[in-house]
Amino acid sequence: MVAAAGDRIGLPHGGGGVETEELILYIRRFFRKWAPENGGGVDLLDDGAFLPYGDKYLVFTIDTYTVKPVFFPGGDIGVLAAAGTLNDLAVMGARPIGFMDTLLIEEGFPRKSLEKIIESMAGIVNEAGAALLGGDIKVMPRGGVDEIAVTGFGVGVADRLLRKDGARIGDLVIVTGPVGDHGAVVLAHQLGFETSLRSDARYIGPAIEAAMNAGEIHAAKDPTRGGLAMALNEIAEASGVTIIVWGDKVPVREETRGIADIAGVDPLALASEGQAVIVAKRGDAEKVLSALHAAGYTEAAVIGEVVEEKMFPVLLETGVGGLRILEKPSGEIVPRIC
């Protein structure tokens, strides 16, 4: 356990899987209050915290991003930080209104590289219609930080709050597109593989908006660190249900699957930075899927269903009809990924 005397923090504690969850629970124990009055905070372990604001909700989120390489096919750390932060608001049903960032920069980092990162970050924030509210800059001596790390803070407004504990028996589970692309891209470049694959990093607000306008949505999550496997386990555990995943229905690109096979990892544990998991009322799922396709998410698919709680939170149905446990990822699958 993390709390054991003499233990040290390792890379798996930042991997977004079992060890990260364990560390968060350990840290939480030191604080008397885990949520504001009438609101939600670290008590829920959701993508953000919230406060009632009249007949709406203010939603807050914060995250730090560190990726190697800083520039990767399909994006860079700027896209990652802005999209990742604002996506955490979107999957809670919030429209982003403000963004702040902290830049931790290594001495000697090229100014032109920084400019590209800021341009990428601004592109996502501008697309979401949010305002830059402020931030902070620190420069560390050479070797004090590996190139650059970015912390993003976001605030948004939600008319109706989406929480990961909202899944109900009978609901259907939808993903907005192929999963694992970002993790596969970073993994390939860290291992020196040649790949034409590109990261899926993008702002997913339009997908959530289209889904919520089309039908009754009970929960949503972006499958970042820990991938689809972690996202589904979190929803199932928080909601007190079991999710059955139809393995042959989950969209995974062949190249993503190939990279995962070579590296010996489950593609369902690889991060997506531009997809969402959406849990919809069964009777509305087809309308939601059609709305996603019309909004440009042409590879969105229904991948499973919510059933009564069984022995395990998530079960994967194989192509031959068997079931296996889809566990929370453990260990550091891809270091410095997001």
**pLDDT per residue over 166-210, tens digit each?**
999 999 999 999 999 999 999 999 999 889 999 999 999 999 999
CATH superfamily of the domain spanning 33-158:
PurM-like, N-terminal domain (3.30.1330.10)
Helix, strand, coil percent content, the chain, rounded in steps of 5: 35, 25, 40
According to the model, what pLDDT value does residue 5 have?
Answer: 38
For residues 185 and 182, give the distance between their C-alpha atoms in angstroms, rounded to a whole number.
Answer: 5
Q: Which pLDDT does position 322 carry in this prediction?
A: 87
Residue 62 to residues 3, 57, 321, Cα–Cα distance (Å): 24, 17, 41
Task: Return the exposure string of 110-120: e unless at least 16 CB atoms fall within 10 Å of the residue's CB, then b.
Answer: eeebeebbeeb
Q: Where are the domains of the chain?
A: 33-158, 172-325
pTM of the predicted protein model? 0.93
User: In the prediction, which pLDDT does 44 show?
Assistant: 85
Q: What is the pLDDT of residue 14?
A: 80
Calpha distance 250→234 (Å, rounded): 18
**Domain 172-325 part of CATH 3.90.650.10:** yes
Residue 190's beta-bridge partner residues?
none
User: What integer pLDDT is reported at residue 332 of this predicted model?
Assistant: 73
* CA 48/CA 221 separation, integer angstroms: 11
Task: Provide the 10 A C-beta neighbour count for residue 11.
Answer: 11
> What is the spatial order of strands in the sheet that 323-325 belongs to?
217-221, 277-280, 172-175, 301-307, 242-246, 314-317, 323-325
Rg, Å, the chain Cα set: 19
Contacts of residue 121, Cβ cutoff 8 Å, sequence gap at least 6: 78, 79, 81, 82, 101, 150
Pick out the chain residues at pLDDT < 70: 1-6
What DSSP state is assigned to residue 18? H
